[in-house]
Amino acid sequence: MTETTIRFATADDAQVIHVFIQGLAEYEREPDAVRATPSSIKAQLQLQRPPFECLLAESDGEVRGFALFFHNYSTWRGKQGIYLEDLYVPDQHRGSGIGKLLLSTLARIAQNRGCSRLEWQVLDWNQPAIDFYENLGAKVMNGWLPCRLQGPELSALAAEGATVT
């Protein structure tokens, strides 16, 4: 088996990150939902404080998976955490240990940064992913439902907000 290495993505990796984001959107049955572009990803990674970080898994000179994440904060624990936005390994590389290596590396980063937890979401129909996560010791948080405002609903609510001084 070829050794897989994990590294942090740079702005030069924007194209491959975009390919993985698009692949994940297709897997999650939302192929037309992606608005990010390679140029927007590159520009964000070039910021002094990028809004996200990304790990890339490489084997034989090929990027074979990614984990895109950012910090969040737990008021109950009084510490920051890491939120895994996307984990993706293309079909042809699944089952090779890349997903587990990405998650275990991210867990190590969380511990090294003093984070109290690592969180993410999984679609309720994605039983292979649920099984994978549970086999790693993750707890699927039944009873917690994600909420989202975007587009016109976000704009409508924002119009009712106060100006912060």
The DSSP annotation for 138-161 comes to ----TT-------HHHHHHHHTTS
Query: Domain extents for the chain?
Result: 5-158
Q: Identify the pLDDT of residue 87.
A: 97
133 counts as catalytic: yes
Exposed, middle or buried: residue 58 (CB in 10 Å: 0-12, 13-18, 19+)?
Answer: middle
Spatial neighbors of 86 by CB under 8 A, at least 6 apart, are 20, 21, 24, 66, 67, 68
- Please tell me the distance from the alpha carbon of residue 29 to that of residue 10, in angstroms, as a whole number: 28
Topology given in CATH for the domain delimited by 5-158: Aminopeptidase (3.40.630)
- Please tell me the distance from the alpha carbon of residue 66 to that of residue 84, in angstroms, as a whole number: 11
Tens of pLDDT, residue by residue, the chain (165 residues): 579 999 999 999 999 999 999 999 999 999 999 999 999 999 999 999 999 999 999 999 999 999 999 999 999 999 999 999 999 999 999 989 999 999 999 999 999 999 999 999 999 999 999 999 999 999 999 888 889 888 999 999 899 998 888
Q: Identify the pLDDT of residue 1.
A: 54
Q: Identify the pLDDT of residue 94.
A: 92
Q: Count other Cβ atoms within 10 Å, centred on residue 80.
A: 16
Indicate which residue of 73, 83, 88, 133 is catalytic: 133
- Please tell me the distance from the alpha carbon of residue 130 to that of residue 89, in angstroms, as a whole number: 15
Q: Identify the pLDDT of residue 163.
A: 87
Q: Identify the pLDDT of residue 10.
A: 98
Q: Which residues of 130-146 are buried (b: 16+ CB within 10 A; e: fewer)?
A: eebbeeeeeeeeeeeee
Q: Identify the pLDDT of residue 55.
A: 98
- Please tell me the distance from the alpha carbon of residue 6 to that of residue 9, in angstroms, as a whole number: 9
